[in-house]
Amino acid sequence: MENIYSNIYSFNKKVLKKTVKSLKQGNLAGLPTETVYGLAGNAYSKRAVRNIFRLKKRPKNNPLIIHYNNLKNARQDVSFNSDFFKLYKKFCPGPITFVLKRNKKSKLSPISTSNLKTVAIRFPSHKVIRSILKLTSFPLAMPSANFSTKLSPVSAYDVYDDFKENLKIIVDGGSSKIGIESTVVDLTGKPKILRPGIICSKEIKAILKKNLSNKKSKIKSPGMMKKHYSPGIPVIIGQKPKKIDHAYIVFGKKHKKNFNYFNLSQKADLKEAASNLYKIMRKIKKYGFKKIFVAKIPSSGPGKAINDRLIRASK
């Protein structure tokens, strides 16, 4: 099939070179990761970082995650601590983001981190983003590649839906396996989960061998604000659909098949459910349903992240 999107590229050596060159010139690119697709730019470049905020219509006080391919590069920008090393060893590269203290000598554009004294860093595992990071001499500031408050993209085509031809390059790395954003854990004090993800608090607690903080922190950034992850139609939790143009998101075996029923995981697997969540919400919107109703989904493990996203989408 011919590719009708002039800016979506399948990954190969030539595209790798082209993408790295474009990033070096200060341009942005839509890139795949194992969690969701990101809108990437040189984190050391003021211009690139400014463009990320502008293109996403993202409030300036919502800091970006900075992506690295190894410890050596990350060490230039942040201070590590023992909690960090333990979690890094267990989960990286992978779907977890660490908030750490910023180094005084860091070259990160202060705009990328909203002038905070802390930086959120991540080591993604997707082979495309890793091979790009290996060839750049700078880390990549990379929020999810969607308009602020909307659903994160899980395919190159989802990125195109929001940004169209405004990006020169969107690299197609297949659909994002994990399907929701990384777990964000603040390690600057008593460890605290700021955004739940596939790696859940129980696993983190087990590695750190200590309790996590569950203090209700004052909102550290608008990313933690209530309205987020909106599919663009109303989302109603805990009720059944009432009309034929209402879709129903369900989970597990007990639900029958129906034209407007969308099962996150027939076999009641929460990881599978997370990976289907945004895909299914986007599909429902495209089919023209007017509202999304959601059945109860267990809140254990990755279920906590799923419910977090659904609750925010319903605001």
Which C-beta is closer to ligand TXA: that of 132 or that of 142?
A: 142
Q: At what angle do helices 13-24 and 127-135 cross, to 10 degrees?
A: 50
Which of these segments, 9-17, 219-227, 233-241, 307-315, binds ligand TXA (CB under 6 A)?
219-227
Among 62, 106, 131, 175, binds ligand TXA (CB under 6 A): 62
SS (H, E, C) 14-69: HHHHHHHHHHHCCCCEEECCCCCCEEEEECCCHHHHHHHHHHHCCCCCCCCEEECC
Q: Does 194 bind ligand TXA (CB under 6 A)?
A: yes
- Contacts of residue 50, defined as CB under 8 A and 6 or more positions apart, other chains included, come to 111
Phi, psi angles (nearest 5°) of residue 291: -145, 155
Which of these segments, 131-139, 177-185, 274-282, 305-313, binds ligand TXA (CB under 6 A)?
177-185
Which C-beta is closer to ligand TXA: that of 120 or that of 306?
A: 120
> Which partner, ligand TXA, Mg ion, none, binds residue 97 by CB below 5 to 8 Å per kind?
ligand TXA
Cross-strand pairs, 65: 120
Rounded Cα distance, 20 and 135, in Å: 7
Binding mask 93-112 for ligand TXA (x = CB under 6 A): ----x-x-------------
Which C-beta is closer to ligand TXA: that of 224 or that of 236?
A: 224
Which C-beta is closer to Mg ion: that of 39 or that of 295?
A: 39
Task: Write out the residues near Mg ion by the rule CB under 5 A.
Answer: 144
Per CB under 6 A, contacts with ligand TXA among 137-176 are 142-144
Q: Which residue is nearest to ligand TXA (CB)?
A: 223
Q: Does 35 bind ligand TXA (CB under 6 A)?
A: yes
Q: E-assigned strands of the chain?
A: 8-10, 29-31, 38-42, 65-67, 78-79, 96-102, 118-122, 140-141, 169-172, 183-186, 192-195, 235-237, 246-250, 261-263, 291-294
Which of these segments, 20-28, 136-144, 153-161, 167-175, binds ligand TXA (CB under 6 A)?
136-144
Provide the 8-state DSSP code for 201: H
Which C-beta is closer to ligand TXA: that of 65 or that of 295?
A: 65
